[in-house]
Structure 1
Amino acid sequence: MAPVRRLRAAVWSFLFYLVHGHISLVLAEEAESCEYLRLGQYVCNEPKIDEATQEPENCKDMIAWVDCLPAPSVRCRLANGSEFQFSGEEVGFNKSISCRNVSGYSYKVAVALSLFLGWLGADRFYLGYPALGLLKFCTVGFCGIGSLVDFMLIAMQMVGPSDGSDYIVDYYGARLSRLSITNETYRKTQLST
């Protein structure tokens, strides 16, 4: 009786491994979505930059999209569900990149006005703060100290246009991004030596 049980267990084990191996092969042949390709399996095009705004041309709601091309011989599933093997020339998917909301205020102009005509309040008038511009004009730039502080705030991009938009800064220019620490910020403990 024991040899029959062993034979039956061996047959069931063989069938299980055979079926399991076949399922694994079927799943391995199914291509994953092109959006989940790993770095090195695709390259994304540079965005086309608008000359007037110095931001990507298709920037809306602080997001722009660029075309990504999977590498040659990569097989993946397109957004419509069909599988495709790429030659390196076809667009496989689009990837989002961040962009800035600009409305026509130039960083270079704001800094120049603050440096040369800040004592008259021209920088604040330009940025859309007429009350502060009038105050600086009437007090001759808060006796010079206010103009210096204002120049530093504008140069460090701490003071921006009154409509909440960002300055127009060259795409590869001196853009500043603020870093902040919140409750979700991870702090790595430092090991004392």
Structure 2
Amino acid sequence: MASYWRSLRSRSATQAFIIFTICLSVIQSLVNDADNCDKLRLGQYLCKEPKIDDATQEPENCKDRLALVECLPAPNITCRLSNGTAFKFSGEEVGFNKSIPCRNVSGYSYKVAVALSLFLGWIGADRFYLGYPALGLLKFCTVGFCGIGSLVDFMLISMQVDPSETTQQIYRIVLCKSPSLLWICHNSFQT
């Protein structure tokens, strides 16, 4: 009976040692293996607000519909920088840049475009200003599609929706359904 208890104690000690070793290796791998800084979870970093251009109402560094903002990891967070070195942050250093989407950025003044759309949209002044002369001429010839096109354009410009895609799709649907306006549809839109 005594040998049975000794073998049971020996097995228990071996199992406890194995569990202890596994737990220790997991803890060491979690402590030593820092993830990339751009893989941090929400709450582990804080991103700065982008600098907004007053004229376009978009971030100043917007390019290809994306802008970069600087993000600061929280104090005592350790993560790997883009060059591969692990760094422990104090909350004041920039750890990575995060991309945020931008809307339509054409370099034109947002305020002027909205004002033109509101007051002179029925003659197409807003589209001429934004660099879409075919749409401007179309609105001029149809008196802003009897006001409906002016209203649609005002909403799209106010929401800063890209007019080269959305407006042309809306106008194409309206114009290309009418046989009498088919020539405008054919001449105004490139398919």
- Deviation (angstroms), 1:157: 0.6
| 1:148 equivalent in alignment to 2:150 | no
- Deviation (angstroms), 1:152: 1.1
Cα distance 1:67–1:9, how it changes in 2: closer, same or farther (>3 A)? same
Cα distance 1:29–1:156, how it changes in 2: closer, same or farther (>3 A)? same
| 1:39 equivalent in alignment to 2:38 | no
Report the structure, 1 or 2, having the larger helix content.
Answer: 2
| Partner Cα separation in structure 1 for residue 86 and residue 135 of structure 2 | 61
| 1:9 equivalent in alignment to 2:7 | no
Given that 2:117 and 2:125 are in contact with CA atoms closer than 8 Å, whether structure 1 keeps it comes out as: yes
- Deviation (angstroms), 1:61: 2.2
Given that 1:71 and 1:88 are in contact with CA atoms closer than 8 Å, whether structure 2 keeps it comes out as: yes
- Deviation (angstroms), 1:16: 0.7
Structure with the larger RCO, 1 or 2 (CA within 8 Å, 6+ apart): 1
Which residue number corresponds to residue 61 of structure 2? 58
Given that 2:122 and 2:140 are in contact with CA atoms closer than 8 Å, whether structure 1 keeps it comes out as: yes
Structure 2 counterpart of 1:149, one-letter code: I
Which residue number corresponds to residue 26 of structure 2? 24
The SS at the match of 1:89 is: coil
Cα distance 1:97–1:128, how it changes in 2: closer, same or farther (>3 A)? closer
- Deviation (angstroms), 1:95: 1.4
Which residue number corresponds to residue 170 of structure 2? none
- Deviation (angstroms), 1:15: 2.0
The SS at the match of 2:106 is: strand
- Alignment length, in residue pairs? 161
| Partner Cα separation in structure 2 for residue 161 and residue 95 of structure 1 | 23
The SS at the match of 1:156 is: helix
Unaligned residue ranges in structure 2 (runs of 5+): 168-191
Given that 2:156 and 2:163 are in contact with CA atoms closer than 8 Å, whether structure 1 keeps it comes out as: no
- Deviation (angstroms), 1:42: 1.9
Given that 1:128 and 1:162 are in contact with CA atoms closer than 8 Å, whether structure 2 keeps it comes out as: no
| Partner Cα separation in structure 2 for residue 137 and residue 18 of structure 1 | 80
- Deviation (angstroms), 1:91: 1.0
Report the structure, 1 or 2, having the larger strand content.
Answer: 1
Q: TM-score, normalised by structure 1?
A: 0.64
Which residue number corresponds to residue 96 of structure 2? 93
Cα distance 1:78–1:129, how it changes in 2: closer, same or farther (>3 A)? closer
Cα distance 1:43–1:132, how it changes in 2: closer, same or farther (>3 A)? closer
Cα distance 1:162–1:78, how it changes in 2: closer, same or farther (>3 A)? closer
| Partner Cα separation in structure 1 for residue 27 and residue 55 of structure 2 | 54
- Deviation (angstroms), 1:90: 0.9
- Deviation (angstroms), 1:127: 4.5
RMSD value over aligned CA atoms? 3.2
Given that 1:118 and 1:147 are in contact with CA atoms closer than 8 Å, whether structure 2 keeps it comes out as: no
**Higher mean C-alpha displacement, 85-94 vs 5-14:** 5-14
Cα distance 1:135–1:100, how it changes in 2: closer, same or farther (>3 A)? closer
